[in-house]
């Protein structure tokens, strides 16, 4: 990690048209990592979410949000193979409901988001 590396990333983001807020946020967290922060949140600081609104109760997204969805990437990070659970393959491939794996459910969630938002991307 270096100032030169950060500047190269910033230049690439700007050339791709990333908004200033995204560039600034990336630079902020890059510097935190460079200073030794790990990003790990101790379990003692984690609190459960008590009240999550239903999606139907949220305000409409609007055209700006739909346009953003055409450039949105979904990353699914898994913590390992689940060897402590006696598993020999990725937990995302574990069948959880009606023959569906976690990965199947995540993919369906993304496809439903695309359908509901009518984001205009090729996959919708």
Say what the pLDDT of residue 121 is.
57
Q: Do 28 and 82 sit in the same domain of this protein?
A: no
Say what the pLDDT of residue 80 is.
63
How many domains are there within the chain? 2
33 vs 26, 38, 45, 78, 98, CA distance in Å?
11, 6, 20, 21, 41
Say what the pLDDT of residue 22 is.
93
Confidence (pTM): 0.43
Q: Please tell me the distance from the alpha carbon of residue 110 to that of residue 123, in angstroms, as a whole number.
A: 10
Say what the pLDDT of residue 122 is.
56
Within-domain flag for 57: no
* pLDDT of 28 higher than 90: yes
Q: Please tell me the distance from the alpha carbon of residue 52 to that of residue 47, in angstroms, as a whole number.
A: 13
Say what the pLDDT of residue 26 is.
95
Q: Do 71 and 21 sit in the same domain of this protein?
A: no
Within-domain flag for 50: no
* pLDDT of 76 higher than 60: yes
Instruction: Report which of 31, 22, 33, 108 is spatially closest to residue 72, judged by C-alpha positions.
Output: 22
């Amino acid at each position: 990690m270096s100032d030169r590396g950060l500047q190269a990333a910033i230049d690439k983001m700007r050339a791709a048209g990333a908004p200033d807020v995204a560039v600034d946020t990336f630079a902020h967290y890059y510097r935190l990592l460079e200073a030794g922060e790990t990003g790990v949140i101790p379990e003692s600081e984690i609190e459960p979410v008590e009240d999550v609104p239903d999606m139907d109760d949220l305000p409409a997204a609007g055209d700006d949000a739909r346009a953003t969805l055409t450039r949105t990437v979904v990353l699914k990070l898994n913590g390992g193979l689940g060897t402590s659970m006696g598993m020999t393959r990725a937990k995302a491939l574990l069948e959880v409901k009606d023959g569906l794996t976690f990965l199947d459910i995540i993919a369906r969630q993304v496809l439903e988001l695309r359908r509901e938002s009518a984001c205009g991307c090729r996959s919708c």
